[in-house]
């Protein structure tokens, strides 16, 4: 496994690869969710590049940028054992200059839900993802459905900027008890973790209600909120695949999203119906 730190070196090297390249962008602290993206990339491409970069521009003032979990040695071991060909591990100065031009997330979809609670977050995500795609020029890039709004925005960026990479949406990976995997789960105490299970429980209940014939978003959301009563709920929302609010669930065109804070830890989860 070869490690690149300098973007220019990777760009040059990439030009010599004539076969398909899969790319998995990460912020490190790799878990089985990341591993599922990596495995899929290895299966579907001749070469796989994983980037590990905690991107400062997607964190807002007061968020956990400084304490974001860093486990670089373990991450490199995971990549190597999984069969990753190349890891891109740049420093902040390699990725950003003074007076950067800016990328703006779409006006509405970029500023609701996650974008409302974290205004400017998606600008930072799109900025770094565009840079990473330009450096690695992948055939296929893999993103998890857990960050559903991020995935939507990246698909829009691909369409609107005519990017020549397939954006592959990958299923959410969960612990046996239902908790969606996230690098931030390490912040949870035993007690917090119990409360965190309410996210997936609320989504399970929503699914059951829908399977039993309920379609009214208000009714479904109010049942979900009851399950989430021990968490500080930021939002419970039901949208279509274009992130427009739905009054009635549309089968095969719905995403149910939830964001809560358990103590200081912010958690999100969703289900695609
Ligand atoms: O989903 C993430 O881990 C990050 O937002 C990403 C896509 C690696 C960009 O920093």
Pull the structure tokens for residue 45.
């491409």
pLDDT of residue 109: 87
**In this predicted structure, what is the pLDDT of residue 108?**
87
Dist. CA 228 → ligand 1 center (Å): 27
Determine which residue's CA is closest to atom 8 belonging to ligand 1.
Answer: 26
Q: How far is the CA of 86 from the centre of ligand 1 (A)?
A: 18
* Residue 34 appears among annotated catalytic residues: yes
Q: For 195-230, how does the pLDDT look when each residue is reduced to its tens digit (9 = 90+)? A: 999 999 999 999 999 999 999 999 999 999 999 999
Q: How far is the CA of 125 from the centre of ligand 1 (A)?
A: 6
- Which of 23-27, 82-86, 104-108, 162-166 is predicted least confidently? 104-108
**Ligand 1 pocket mutation, candidates 147, 151, 183, criterion most atoms within 8 A of CB:** 147
Q: From the CB of 25, is ligand 1 less than 6 Å away?
A: yes
Share of the chain above pLDDT 90, in %: 97
């Amino acid at each position: 496994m070869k490690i690149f730190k300098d973007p220019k070196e990777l760009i040059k090297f990439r030009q010599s690869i004539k076969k398909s390249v899969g790319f998995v962008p990460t912020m490190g602290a790799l878990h089985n969710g990341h591993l599922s993206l990596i495995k899929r990339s290895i299966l579907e491409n001749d070469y796989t590049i994983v980037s590990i970069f905690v991107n400062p521009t997607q964190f807002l003032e007061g968020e956990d940028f400084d304490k974001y979990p860093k486990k670089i040695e373990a991450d490199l071991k995971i990549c190597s054992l999984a069969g990753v060909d190349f890891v891109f591990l740049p420093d902040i100065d390699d990725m950003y200059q003074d007076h950067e031009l800016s990328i703006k997330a779409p006006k509405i979809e970029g500023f609701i839900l996650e974008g409302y609670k974290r205004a400017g977050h998606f600008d930072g995500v799109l900025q770094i993802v565009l840079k990473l795609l330009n450096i690695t020029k992948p055939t296929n890039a893999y993103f998890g459905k857990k960050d559903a709004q991020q995935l939507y925005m990246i698909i829009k960026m691909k369409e609107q900027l005519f990017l020549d990479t397939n954006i592959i949406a990958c299923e959410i990976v969960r612990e046996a008890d239902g908790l969606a995997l996230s690098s931030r789960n390490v912040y949870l105490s035993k007690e917090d973790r119990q409360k965190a299970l309410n996210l997936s429980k609320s989504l399970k209940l929503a699914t059951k209600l829908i399977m039993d014939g309920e379609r009214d978003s208000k009714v479904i959301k109010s049942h979900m909120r009851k399950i989430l009563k021990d968490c500080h709920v930021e939002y419970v929302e039901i949208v279509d695949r274009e992130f427009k609010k739905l009054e009635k669930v549309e089968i095969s065109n719905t995403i149910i999203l939830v964001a809560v804070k358990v103590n200081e830890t912010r958690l999100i989860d969703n289900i695609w119906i």
